[in-house]
Structure 1
Amino acid sequence: MKFAAVLNRDGGTLRTTDLNAFSDRMHQTLEAAGHSLTIDVVAGRDVVETLDNAASRHAVDVVLAGGGDGTISAAAARLMGNKKALAILPAGTMNLFARGLGIPQSLDAALNSFADGEIIAVDMATANGRPFIHQFSIGMHARMVQLRQRMEFGSRLGKIGASAKAAWETINNPPAMNVTLGIGEAEMTARITAIGVTNNLFGEGHLPYADNPAGGVLGIYVTVAQQRTELMKFLFNIARGKWRDNEHVEIHQSDRTILKIHSGSRKFRAVMDGELVRLERETTIEIRPGALNVLVPARVAEAKAA
């Protein structure tokens, strides 16, 4: 296969990686397996343009994206509905989409898995037509991201610490929003502290990622918890992957949902794949089954085919 790699030198763990040495290992590993490879190492501000270029090249079979969540989401958006496949170098903080695909979590192990990897089709989702691979969320998560962005950190551990501090501040001053959520033929109106709509249902007992990235459904998670003890339990259960242990979380699934905001939407934001975006007064979220081709380890492809 012909690979076009785009590495965001400002993204995730790549900021502290010797990219010259790693690029040499990429060539050695993939070319020894009979593949060809071009590599562009670019600054964060140039990632989108470089991904556009890689995705438009007819000779390319696989776009290999390396960076944080924003880089991977941007690459997937450009390959949605495209015959070309996405290969993910997990260089972010949590690498949740990569985990759901069974991709090893170290850069070299992921690279080695691509040498004999296989292409499968998985789902994506859209919010008012904008693609995402992991989650669209409002309420607590958006507040935490807003608070974290005001803090300074220069490493993965620093980001985790900033996230913990932002979570504590959010618990002490949680957002509350009046919303209507349409799920299939049903409609519910509530005052919520958080809603997360995910690209397939999260698995249980681990970090929040989908066990089946080709399940064909949205996971819809709604919490109305407001008291500090309720919110602490909510976040603790999320960290342990114990969604169903929390009496303040309702879990639904559907192929389409419509979220309407009745509170003053100007002061609120949404988060898509870790990035803050404008929250529209009404958002239609839909699953896009099989919309993304991804390169996964051969053992993962074999297990899914069984």
Structure 2
Amino acid sequence: MAHRTVAVLLNCSSRSNRAAQQRARLEALMKESGLDADLLCAEHGRLLGELARSAARAPYDLLVAGGGDGTVSTVAAAIAGTDRTLGVLPLGTVNHFAKYLGLPLALEGAVRTLVEGRRVQVDVGEVNGHVFVNNSTLGIYPGIVRAREALRERRGLNRWIALALSTLAGLGRHERVRLRLLLDGQELQLSTPFMFIANNDFKLGDLDLARQGPLGPGELGVCVAHAESRRASARLLASALAGRIQRASDFSVLRTSALRVEAPRRRLRVAADGEVLELSPPLCYRTRPAALRVLVPPSSRLGAGAGRREDLPARRAALEG
């Protein structure tokens, strides 16, 4: 696939030798592939969004996100709804979106996809104007994410060790949030320690929360835990790790085109693709069908209809109003 102009956006805040070696290897692979690409580095993660928006205004027809899901989400937000194409180089730890697209996780194969891949259009999710490509969470998980990053920064812990420690701390607090959900003409009142809203599948990292088929065009997946105690939350976590959470009686899975979340709080802590936000309710979730053009390998399971536009139900207007 021919591209007129290519920009590769990287989060260059890491000063480790490994990060420098990774950038050097990427430069060599891009040159070998015949792609004339500009490597654009954000020296701090918070500057990546500004860099992505600037690149989206420049005459690049392909913007490549080199990093993990947070980097991919930031670049996707800058070009969703435009005629720009997103390429992905999975340089992160989980690489959820890359796996969803069927991309090779090896850097050589991912670079090859930039040359040989085909364009498809996929949905993005949105909550109060913030775009996400994978999922958004409420309840204890945003706190776990924030605690995990603090442990990594302060103590230099491995990502998975930091996640385990922060998860145990989060379960110990057993924070619950009272919510009123409006979706598909239904009103649900609940108190929950965990709520998950999916844009593409029901996976949180490598945990499959529903073991259901992929979401259809213009569809969000909603998973809600009804655990009433720390012990019940621990049982749910054990069920998730064992791949049996979909059988749990205190865990609900729903599908909808839009979702309104109300809460008796001035601010809610919300995670969107790993970024923790403080948002004022109501939270208005929606899909933007086929809003993002992405490159996938020729063999990817995502077909021409993966992100096709459809007339969404009139209920969306009522939920967002």
TM score, norm. by length of structure 2: 0.83
Does structure 2 retain, via aligned residues, the 8 Å contact 1:142–1:271? yes
Cα 1:270–1:300 shift into 2, 3 Å:
same
Indicate the larger mover: 159-168 or 35-44. 35-44
Deviation, 1:131, is: 1.2
Partner of 1:221: 223
- 1:21 matched to 2:25? The reply is yes
Structure 2 residue matching 1:304: 3-state secondary structure: coil
Deviation, 1:168, is: 0.9
Aligned mates of 1:189, 1:239 — CA distance in 2: 28
Cα 1:250–1:299 shift into 2, 3 Å:
same
Aligned mates of 1:27, 1:211 — CA distance in 2: 39
Question: Mind listing any 5+ residue stretches in structure 2 that lack a counterpart?
Answer: 306-321
Give, as a single letter, the amino acid of the residue that structure 2 aligns with 1:72: V
Alpha-carbon RMSD: 2.8
- 1:56 matched to 2:57? The reply is yes
Alignment of 1:152-301 (within 5 A): 152-153=152-153, 158-202=158-202, 207-208=207-208, 212=214, 215-239=217-241, 241-262=243-264, 264-266=265-267, 268-300=268-300
Deviation, 1:50, is: 2.3
Partner of 1:124: 124
Alignment of 1:41-52 (within 5 A): 41-44=41-44, 45-52=46-53
Partner of 1:98: 98
Question: Mind listing any 5+ residue stretches in structure 1 that lack a counterpart?
Answer: none
Aligned mates of 1:201, 1:212 — CA distance in 2: 5
Aligned mates of 1:290, 1:225 — CA distance in 2: 35
Deviation, 1:153, is: 5.0
Does structure 2 retain, via aligned residues, the 8 Å contact 1:200–1:213? yes
Aligned mates of 1:17, 1:155 — CA distance in 2: 24
Structure 2 residue matching 1:152: 3-state secondary structure: helix
- 1:10 matched to 2:9? The reply is no
Aligned mates of 1:156, 1:119 — CA distance in 2: 39
Deviation, 1:16, is: 6.1
Deviation, 1:250, is: 0.5
Deviation, 1:211, is: 6.6
Aligned residues: 298
Does structure 2 retain, via aligned residues, the 8 Å contact 1:148–1:162? yes
Structure 1 residue matching 2:284: 3-state secondary structure: strand
Give, as a single letter, the amino acid of the residue that structure 2 aligns with 1:250: S
Deviation, 1:305, is: 4.3
Aligned mates of 1:124, 1:161 — CA distance in 2: 31
Give, as a single letter, the amino acid of the residue that structure 1 aligns with 2:166: A
Deviation, 1:191, is: 1.1
Q: Deviations over 1:229-265 (max 9, x none)?
A: 4222322343455441222210111110000112x44
Aligned mates of 1:238, 1:108 — CA distance in 2: 33
Alignment of 1:60-139 (within 5 A): 60-139=60-139
Structure 1 residue matching 2:202: 3-state secondary structure: coil
TM score, norm. by length of structure 1: 0.87
Cα 1:237–1:9 shift into 2, 3 Å:
farther
Does structure 2 retain, via aligned residues, the 8 Å contact 1:116–1:298? yes
Give, as a single letter, the amino acid of the residue that structure 1 aligns with 2:193: T
Deviation, 1:216, is: 2.2
Aligned mates of 2:229, 2:106 — CA distance in 1: 39
- 1:304 matched to 2:309? The reply is no
Cα 1:156–1:211 shift into 2, 3 Å:
farther
Structure 1 residue matching 2:303: 3-state secondary structure: helix
Deviation, 1:154, is: 9.0
Give, as a single letter, the amino acid of the residue that structure 1 aligns with 2:50: E
Cα 1:115–1:237 shift into 2, 3 Å:
farther
Aligned mates of 2:95, 2:58 — CA distance in 1: 27
Structure 1 residue matching 2:71: 3-state secondary structure: helix
Give, as a single letter, the amino acid of the residue that structure 1 aligns with 2:10: L
